[in-house]
Amino acid sequence: MPEQYKTSTDLEGAPVIGPGHTFASVTDKISSIVLTRPASNGWLIGFALMFMLTMMMLFAIGYLFLKGIGIWGVTIPIGWGFAIVNFVWWIGIGHAGTLISAILLLLRQSWRNSINRFAEAMTLFAVAAAGIFPAIHVGRPWLAYWLFPYPNTMRVWPQFRSPLMWDVFAVSTYATISALFWFTGLIPDFATLRDRTDKRWLKMTYGMLSMGWRGSARHWHRYETMYLLLAGLATPLVLSVHTVVSFDFAIGIVPGWHTTIFPPYFVAGAIYSGFAMVLMLAIPIRKIYGLEDFITERHLQNSAKVMLATGLIVAYGYGIEAFMGWYGGDRYDAFTLWNRLHGPYSFWYWSLLTCNIFVPQVLWIRKLRTSPVALFCISGVILVGMWLERFIIVVVSLHRDFLTSSWGMYYPTRWDWMTYIGTIGMFLAAMFLFLRILPAISIFEMRTLLPEAEVKE
Amino acid sequence: MKRDPIYGVMAEFDSATALVEAAHKTHAAGYKKIDAYSPFPIEGLAEAIGFHHDEVPLVVLIGGLIGGTCGYLMQWWMSAVDYPLNIGGKPPHSWPAFIVITFEMTILFAGISAVLGMLALNGLPMPYHPVFNVPRFSSASKDRFFLIIFSSDKKYRLDETLKFLHTLEPRSVSEVPS
């Protein structure tokens, strides 16, 4: 038990792994979910439902390709609509995975070891869901590769002074690094699965994926150096990604977008919604697969504290936005504030404040921070709230800007909803598959948490 | 040159502490071509077998520098040389706008070099390796710890080395066929 946990009371001092575990029991417990446990009916039904939602998304996108984005609710002046709202929401959710795997690794928070693997998986699937939206929003999605600088017969290059171009680089770098981080973290566990399974084809598959990992001391040394450096690279990267996403708005001159508070408040909001998603996934997973020894109440409590802290940063962001709208002296900014509070979308602005600021304050109560049911519900509220935040930022700012003659309203169509709900289905379907095919908890990092892992002099 | 039918001799231990101790003793006894295997990274084990030079950070540094340089030069050449476009009177070589992509390219190249560098320096992927011939070695990815002395070591003599390994009080000792 590391020293720093011993001082404080309550769950602070609680172990991050249940008592009585050995290297063998940790290995068997986690790998048995993948290797021996039969697929339950619940899993099959859940996966089938989510797969159906994925098909619905593909249907909606297929029709979109046939007809064009006219089937969506986007019009002028609201040209961004659901596509960008969902894009920012999903990218933000992904950020908690990188925070858990990279930033908490650098800060030596060993409790992260049991949740980093599926949080990283969550990042990958969330980024995949996010990536769909800008690609299908460009109007002619089969030409979306024009975003990348490649030598072409038109002899033109992308416009690097545009924040939208920065976003292309930030998000594609983020997707690549997240995938690398996730895959390299899996290599030693693939070796464990290779050595545990009896089936020849599984041995071959996991053996290939493990790249012949044999746990040599030299290999571990280079591996740990690589892992630490990757964490050090991913940390500024994850902060940069949502900063750049916020630049998509903040660089523009639209009232309600053009503020310097956007980067920090977007990053905090991303982590806020991401931890909410981590909890919404972790709470059922630990219950269904009996992993309460590995994902303990302390993990729930810590995640709840991160949500509380980032939620307050977000609240500060809203406060500064409102204050600057009033104090800044710009009549358009002042109107945006008034329009949020009293305009046609005011119900949603107040819902946003309720979901993101008022309700999460119950997390100050210790009892709720350790209650899985309460945390599950609060996390759901926060996810809705963070979606509404992006809706308010995108739609309410665009629908009434400088000229009253160009005001308008935005009404999402059924195709908008089908695409959005479909990506949730795709995300969860991927999570269902992940749980059955790969070890959802990092086995080798869990071994290092056991007291026997320490070398005694 | 005739290949030794024995790749090395391997001892199995119960705990991380025993492995690190044994590795220290083996290295001190003059065996230099040795390796240790464990189910998780053990602090000090690499040093115990005499491994000190880790080139991964250098590879990452070089990768990052190449990425950043290429990222900036790409934007400069495309925006200021090959296809200068006047947008709102901004200069074609508007360097502050190029910083974000320069940064992202630095991270991208450094991250890819970290992973590929680690794999290349470790000689991976390598699906077959002689140590896998030892049936008990499958526990190296679960809860057992192994030490090997390679037959290519100068001090290696099959019977003497086996005897030496037994003095380390291992759970078992086996010969690894090559």
- A103's tokens: 């930033």
| Tens digits of residue pLDDT in B64-104 | 999 999 999 999 999 999 999 888 888 889 899 999 999 99
Identify the H or E element spanning B11: strand B6-13
pLDDT at B2: 57
- CB-nearest to B122 from A155, A219, A230 is A219
- In angstroms, rounded to a whole number, what is the distance separating the alpha carbons of residues A25 and A46? 28
Which parts of chain B sit beneath pLDDT 70? Answer: 1-3
Chain A positions touching B143 (Cβ under 8 A) are: 22-24, 27
Interface test with A, best of B56, B95, B104 (most A CBs within 10 A): B104
Q: Do A215 and B127 touch (CB under 8 A)?
A: no
For the segment A362-373, what is each residue's pLDDT rounded down to a tens digit? 999 988 888 999
DSSP state of B8: E
Predicted local confidence at residue A5, as pLDDT: 41
Q: What is the mean pLDDT of chain A?
A: 89
**Number of CB atoms found within 10 A of residue B110's CB:** 26
Residue A304, pLDDT > 80, answer: yes
Rounded-to-integer distance, Cα A119 and Cα A230, Å:
16
Per-residue confidence band for A29, with pLDDT thresholds at 50, 70 and 90: confident
| Number of residues assigned to chain B | 178
Q: A-B interface: how many C-beta pairs under 8 angstroms? A: 205
Pairwise CB contact (< 8 Å): B101 & A165: yes
Q: How far apart are CA A427 and CA A93, in angstroms?
A: 11
> How many helices (H) and strands (E) would you count in chain A?
17, 0
Cβ separation B100–A166 shorter than 8 A: yes
Query: DSSP string covering B120-132, please?
Result: HHTT---S--GGG
Is A223 in contact with B54 (Cβ distance < 8 A)?
no
CA distance B132 to A443: 21
Q: Give CA–CA dist A383/A362, Å, rounded.
A: 16
Cα distance between residue A69 and residue A342, in whole Å: 30
Distances (CA, A) of A184 to A93, A456, B43, B111: 22, 29, 20, 11
Give the residue carrying structure tokens 């794999």. B119
B96: tokens are 């502050």
Chain B residues with CB under 8 Å of A161 CB are 79, 87, 90, 94, 97
Q: Of the ranges A72-86, A107-121, A132-146, A227-241, which one carries the lowest mean pLDDT score?
A: A107-121
Query: Terminal CA-to-CA distance of chain B, rounded, Å?
Result: 15
Residue A258: C-alpha distances to residues A128, A246, A252, A398, B64 (Å): 28, 10, 6, 12, 32
Q: Check A226 against B118: CB less than 8 A apart.
A: yes
Helix axes A217-250, A262-288, angle to 10 degrees: 130
Residues of chain B positioned with their CB less than 8 A from the CB of A445: 40
Query: Are B112 and A188 a contacting pair at CB < 8 A?
Result: no
Strands (E), chain B: 6-13, 34-37, 145-150, 172-177
Whole-angstrom distance, CA of residue A247 vs CA of residue A270: 14
Q: Report CA Rg, chain B.
A: 25
φ, ψ of residue A108 in degrees (nearest 5): 60, 40
pTM for the model stands at: 0.90
